[in-house]
């Protein structure tokens, strides 16, 4: 076998590349070993409402505890203050496995005066 002609830059790039590829493959292999078959399991967390110009915004954090990605996650938030009920909803395009996404729903009445209840209406398999 003949001698390989490489300068220090080429060797550096090669070494860096080897490390990069090895870590990507290693990480993917680890994840694939850790990954189960659990269906999407979505948890919602309602944040503190904030007043905006003419409406109120409520931050929603959706996290997926499952091992599968959910597509088109439809979330409904109901605000109950006294006898009044106001509904708001939001759709999150993709909620990756074990990932989280943030969104806002808005209300006309002040949510700080009532109680907020959030639930997932539905989602599909991507």
Partner 1 sequence: MTPPVTDSLREYARGIAGGLMFSLPLLYTMEVWWAGFVADPLRLILYVATVFVLLLGYNHYAGLHHDACWSEVVIDSVEEMGLGILVAAGMLFLLGQIETDHTAVEIVGKITIEAMTVAIGISIGTSQLGGDEAKAKGGAEASAKTEASFGGQLAIAGCGAVLFASNVAPTEEILLIATESHLLKILGLVLLSLTITASILYYIEFSGSRPLERAGESILSVVMGTMVSYAVALAVSAAVLWFFGRFEEVALLTCVAQTVVLGLAATLGASAGRLLLQ
Q: How far is the CB of 39 from partner 1 (least distance, A)?
A: 14
Q: How far apart are CA 49 and CA 70, in angstroms?
A: 26
2 near partner 1 (CB under 8 A): yes
94 near partner 1 (CB under 8 A): yes
Q: How far is the CB of 10 from partner 1 (least distance, A)?
A: 5
Q: How far is the CB of 97 from partner 1 (least distance, A)?
A: 7
69 near partner 1 (CB under 8 A): yes
Q: How far apart are CA 79 and CA 48, in angstroms?
A: 13
| Own/partner long-range contacts of 79-86 (Cβ < 8 Å, ≥24 apart) | 79/107, 79/109, 79/111, 79/114, 79/115, 79/116, 80/114, 80/115, 80/117, 81/109, 81/110, 81/111, 81/113, 81/114, 81/115, 82/114, 84/109, 84/114
Site for partner 1 (CB under 8 A): which residue of 78, 96, 103, 104?
A: 96
- Residues in 38-67 at the binding interface with partner 1, rule: CB under 8 A: none
102 near partner 1 (CB under 8 A): yes
97 near partner 1 (CB under 8 A): yes
72 near partner 1 (CB under 8 A): no
């Amino acid at each position: 076998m003949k001698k390989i002609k490489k300068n220090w830059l080429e060797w550096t790039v090669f070494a860096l590349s080897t490390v990069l590829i090895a870590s990507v493959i290693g990480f993917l292999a680890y994840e694939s070993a850790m990954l189960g078959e659990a269906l999407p399991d979505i948890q919602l967390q309602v944040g503190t409402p904030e007043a905006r110009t003419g409406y109120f915004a409520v931050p929603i954090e959706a996290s997926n505890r499952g091992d599968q990605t959910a597509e088109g996650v439809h979330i409904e938030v109901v605000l109950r203050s006294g006898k009044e009920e106001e509904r708001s909803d939001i759709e999150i395009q993709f909620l990756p496995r074990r990932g989280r996404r943030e969104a806002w729903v808005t209300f006309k009445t002040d949510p700080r005066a009532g109680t907020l209840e959030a639930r997932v209406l539905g989602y599909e398999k991507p």
